[in-house]
Amino acid sequence: MPSRFLRRSFSLRTLFILINLIVLVLPIFGIVALRIFENIIHRQTEDKLISEGAYVQALYLPELLKQLDGATLKPPLCRYTLEGPTPLFGQWRPHFPMIDLSRHAILPPASPGRLPRLPAPLAAQSAGAAIQPLLKEAQLQTLSAVRVLDADGVVVASTGIELGEDLSHRHEISQALLGRYCSVLRRRIPDQDQPAFASLRQNSISRASRIRVFVAIPMIQGYKLLGIVYLSRTSLSITRALWDVRYFMALLLLLAVTLLISMVLSSVVTRPLKSMVRQAERIARGEANVSLSLGPTASSEARQLSEALSAMVERLRERMHYVQEFSRNVSHEFKTPLTGIQGAIELLREKWQEMTESERSRFLGIIETEVRRMERLVKRLLELTRIEMTDPSDAETDLAELLEHMTHRYSDAGQDVRLVRQAAPARARIAPDLAETLFVNLIE
């Protein structure tokens, strides 16, 4: 199959259309690829936050139950929700990344917290205070902002300064209060202006991205919402991600593939032409047995040009052979009368005084006969040349009728010329006078 594909010829128009399509598609493909790559980066960040949130939940819930000291969970420590455990997964309660740049808009920066209508329950505050040092210690390595909210959306533990604030007005928190996992993208407020290439430094903590991922994970037991784990983190900058070794190698591979495609397309167009130029130069130098061969990737136009050049070379070879054969025949035909004329002249010069008048007349007659013979040869050569140089004519000649007429004319002149027909009458695209000249030369 590959060899059959390589032997197939494509026209230059097809190749140029293909090149233009590649030039058109590459930027679009690059934009789409970068968009997909950026989406993958955000999803990786979301997945990381989900994992961290699971550990925060595992810290907070036991501490909350410990603070209750066996008391029953009831509002305001919890609220009832329609979103219970998912039967499909049994005891497992996984959350999957949901961020998709093609469907989710990037929201503005998060609005500031508000004063709560009621403070958080003491048990929730105590549980949050117990785990808050652990959250701040972990943030030094995870770089994620973590907040634990009670069942009303009030912060009871935070790695920041929002402790005691009400965040229930934020979209992701309002969804989590209904028992639904929610993740959003928000524009990041930079801490300070950074140099243009600060994002390329591998030790940059800010990660230089302009988008921040927010994840709100509801903590549900049965159909009771006990609180929310609220995490956020800046996604890895796509510029810095591209400087990662793996992606850098992918870029090098893409560059190599692009270069390879360019070389292949260039060879399809230029290599056959260069090959024909070299072979034409060899023909111009007079080398024999030069064949015009092209590679398997040559275009159809290049093959047509090669076939036309091959036909021209073959015709030139035939013409050269014809000229050589013609020269030998002319030399042979002229040699006989010239020899006769030269011999007669030598005899006349040496024996002029000794010859009788009749002998002189005989030798002069020989010279005259040979001269006329040469004259007829020259005339026939000129006629053959005229036939060779004549452009193709639209006139047609009935060869059988012409030969019949010539046979009668030679018979009337006393020459024995007979016409033997072995095929049906034929017509040729040649003027009648040229055809007659050709047959006269052949007969005489």
Same domain, 72 and 195: yes
Whether 4 has a pLDDT exceeding 60, the answer reads: no
pLDDT digits (tens, 9 = 90+) for 92-131: 778 899 999 888 899 999 999 999 999 999 999 999 999 9
- What confidence category does residue 199 fall into, taking pLDDT thresholds of 50, 70 and 90? very low
pLDDT of residue 290: 65
Same domain, 306 and 342: yes
Distance between CA atoms of 67 and 271, rounded to whole angstroms?
82
Domain assignment present for 227:
yes
What is the mean pLDDT of the segment spanning 350-374?
81
Residue that terminates a domain, selected from 362, 389, 416: 389
What is the mean pLDDT of the segment spanning 343-361?
81
- R_g of the chain computed on alpha carbons: 51
Same domain, 57 and 183: yes
Q: What's the structural domain count of the chain?
A: 3
What is the mean pLDDT of the segment spanning 328-346?
78
Q: Cα 55–60–65 angle (5° rounding)?
A: 135
pTM for this predicted structure? 0.55
In which domain, by residue range, is 367 found?
299-389
Strand residue runs (E) in 44-86: 79-80
Q: Which of 179-183, 209-213, 239-243, 322-326 has the lowest mean pLDDT?
A: 239-243
Whether 351 has a pLDDT exceeding 90, the answer reads: no
Distance between CA atoms of 163 and 125, rounded to whole angstroms?
10
pLDDT digits (tens, 9 = 90+) for 228-263: 999 999 987 665 555 555 566 667 777 877 787 777
Q: Cα 346–348–350 angle (5° rounding)?
A: 70
CATH (domain of 336): 1.10.287.130
Same domain, 53 and 168: yes
